[in-house]
Amino acid sequence: MESAQTFAAVIPCLNEAEAIGSVVKEALRHVQRVWVVDDGSSDGTGQEAQRVGAMVIRKAMNRGKGAALREGLDAAKAAGFQFAVLIDGDGQHDPGEIPKLIEAARVGADLVIGNRMLEPKRMSRVRRFVNGWMSGRLEKMAGMPCPDSQCGFRVVRLEAWERLSFRQNRFEVESEMFTSFARAGLKIVFVPVKSLPAKRPSRIRPAIDSVRWFRWWLTTK
């Protein structure tokens, strides 16, 4: 493991009491500290995360994944960490793969993104199509390869992240992060990861979230 105060993890959560305990426990095998941002949960997400060793930031109201990530990243940076592993709390990412992403960050990447598209069989055809379409648009916008723009399994160099401006509060945050790092000339690396079945249905709302993404894309082009 790296020296103290190097790698933390940030997990944005909404009603993930069933999965969050195992995600936190496994993540703590690879990082020094875990922050769970409980984004307005009505179940025992925060309590379960705290029980297994996470630092919990509780929000009374749901503000969205992007807002939760910013708060968690702020906490990790303020605590002196150099990198933050971003991982979803629903179990669709394997925390055992954290070392692969950490290694890419350790040797110089500013943003490491998991690439699920080498083995996408566990993703629905609709999700594969939408991800591929969005990733293609972002490749052209950023002028660099982007095989999996929507994967939330990442490592962020916090010094680089702090220099950029992020405004998106919902799921379009993944796209905003990729384009912001690319346009700033920072090093982005994609690392193959597995896509595991989540323990509950996706919270992405196709109509509303697509409108939000298109609005962001049109104002960012």
**pLDDT value at residue 56:** 97
Would you give the distance in Å from CA 3 to the centre of its chain? 23
Residue 140: predicted pLDDT: 86
- Whether residue 41 contacts residue 29, with contact meaning beta carbons closer than 8 Å, is answered with no
Nearest in space to 89 (alpha carbons), one of 75, 59, 68: 68
Note the pLDDT of residue 220.
74
Domain ranges of the chain: 7-220
Task: Tell me yes or no: is domain 7-220 CATH 3.40.50.450.
Answer: no
pLDDT in tens, 106-139: 999 999 999 988 776 666 676 777 777 788 888 8
Q: Residue 4 has what pLDDT?
A: 44
Residue 27 identity? A
Give residue 2's pLDDT.
47
User: What's the predicted TM-score (pTM) here?
Assistant: 0.87
Q: Which residues of the chain have a pLDDT value below 70?
A: 1-5, 120-124, 126, 197-218, 221
Contacts of residue 127, defined as CB under 8 A and 6 or more positions apart, other chains included, come to 202
As a whole number of angstroms, the distance between CA 75 and CA 81 comes to: 9
Residues with Cβ within 8 Å of 131's Cβ and at least 6 positions away in sequence, in order, are 117, 123, 148, 149, 150
Label residue 204 exposed, middle or buried (CB < 10 Å: 0-12, 13-18, 19+).
middle
Residue indicated by tokens 């972002």:
138
